[in-house]
Structure 1
């Protein structure tokens, strides 16, 4: 996942961000989702796979264990440093998704998981994906639509306001619903779309919900008092095993034409 890891004050948020990414990688259904992406890519012995926005490098290591020659890129130097520490022997490089340092047709498989929502021009990333893929190569895009977080809460209207306010702070909050169109627009065929839903009910996922409220306050969409009341409802639900957060995750795949 390619995310800026420092705020304007200069504080380095990489350790916290890596912890978040690790937690997401352990979330219910996450391992199955990654495995499905390898299957859609046709990963096998000798497959040349590029993971764009690789974060800590877990997918690169997993694809490598399946016999692929896997490499990862991320725009954040700290993420690449962490990936190299965690998974020595694999290739990692600092690069933008829109300017990959590889020759035309260098890869058989292209994977971008939770990346395109960070980009102001996801189409440029798809054009670059097509360039570096060999004819017949496969691309898989995975990500959530930020407008569609489903939370059980007492105040449904306030919940919608909070979810949408958080979504509006994302560069491309609705890009996942565009995955199919982006692939088609950039010369990919055999395009398919799947959706899985991460259902999170354990209390340790509570910070994901409270973080939505905090972001809505910063955006000026709700007052501190409204956020406090909404958060108190979520805390009470977590304390009584009634917390419920569901996040639909979309996966689109396609084959590069000749």
Structure 2
């Protein structure tokens, strides 16, 4: 346990929490005492497995289906979580999609979906959460190392969407600071997930761009999110924390 009462009594919403980094975050926050709701778009079974693990760790968990590309679903998910738990203290904007390919080959539909999920949804989730977040509230978004260093061809759309979260974080931090709400960003590097496995076709290339020479784990990203969500980070806002093994060094 990392500190069972650090987030005791707090309620967190993790978007895209059924797999990968989102699932790791959803399982990490209960270790500090938080109850956790998560959104998912695809597999209800995967989402319920995460909820079962949250419950096994002694906290309350709940999964709600919501496509982050749908503004109504975003607002509905936040409202449902706040009603079920009677409060909301921590928003983790993790849900994201990617489209890799040459600039000229990316379709308008791909552009619209990536920007809807990766840029518009975090803004809308934050808007909906604001009526519930009080002093000590936290917004933590999951960005990407490619926002600072687009090292690979085909990453322009993904880099564009994740770079937008830097401005989102700074602007929100400035506006919400007087209300006691902090807003921060975690920027992962190559992380071993089903979307980017450590034994994938391009893993060696990505690994070579890191200073540590290895992939990171979802748990290492989750630790950074937990820090920013907790009391230890009460004087940290508008910040970007790279968890990238030195990818941007």
Task: Give the counterpart of 2:18 among 55, 60, 77.
Answer: 55
Shift of 1:93: 0.8
Task: Give the counterpart of 2:39 among 61, 73, 94.
Answer: 73
TM-score normalised by the chain length of structure 1: 0.49
CA distance in 1, matches of 2:90, 2:156: 30
Assess, with a 3 A threshold, how the Cα gap between structure 1 residues 197 and 173 changes in structure 2: closer, same or farther: closer
Shift of 1:149: 4.2
1:207 pairs with 2:172 = no
Assess, with a 3 A threshold, how the Cα gap between structure 1 residues 192 and 170 changes in structure 2: closer, same or farther: closer
> What is the correspondence of 1:1-12 to structure 2 with a 5 Å cutoff?
none
- Work out whether residues 143 and 188 of structure 2, in 8 Å CA contact, stay in contact via their aligned partners in 1: no
TM-score normalised by the chain length of structure 2: 0.51
1:181 pairs with 2:144 = no
**Residues paired across the two proteins, number:** 173
Structure 1 portions without partners, runs of 5+? 1-34, 152-158, 211-233
> What is the correspondence of 1:1-258 to structure 2 with a 5 Å cutoff?
43-56=6-19, 57-74=23-40, 76-78=41-43, 80-88=44-52, 89=55, 90-96=61-67, 98-99=74-75, 100-102=78-80, 103=82, 106-113=87-94, 115=96, 118-121=117-120, 122-149=122-149, 159=152, 162=153, 165-168=154-157, 172-184=161-173, 187-189=176-178, 191=182, 198=189, 205=198, 207=200, 209=202, 244-246=208-210, 254=237
- Work out whether residues 18 and 50 of structure 2, in 8 Å CA contact, stay in contact via their aligned partners in 1: no
RMSD: 4.4
> Which deviates further from its counterpart, 139-148 or 95-104?
95-104
- Work out whether residues 145 and 175 of structure 1, in 8 Å CA contact, stay in contact via their aligned partners in 2: no
Shift of 1:82: 0.4
- Work out whether residues 48 and 70 of structure 1, in 8 Å CA contact, stay in contact via their aligned partners in 2: yes
Assess, with a 3 A threshold, how the Cα gap between structure 1 residues 96 and 136 changes in structure 2: closer, same or farther: farther
Shift of 1:139: 1.8
Shift of 1:71: 1.5
Q: Deviations over 1:121-155 (max 9, x none)?
A: 2432321231332344222222115343475xxxx
1:14 corresponds to: none
Assess, with a 3 A threshold, how the Cα gap between structure 1 residues 111 and 147 changes in structure 2: closer, same or farther: closer
Assess, with a 3 A threshold, how the Cα gap between structure 1 residues 173 and 60 changes in structure 2: closer, same or farther: closer
CA distance in 1, matches of 2:66, 2:137: 21
- Work out whether residues 130 and 186 of structure 1, in 8 Å CA contact, stay in contact via their aligned partners in 2: no
Query: Which structure: larger Rg?
Result: 1
Shift of 1:67: 2.0
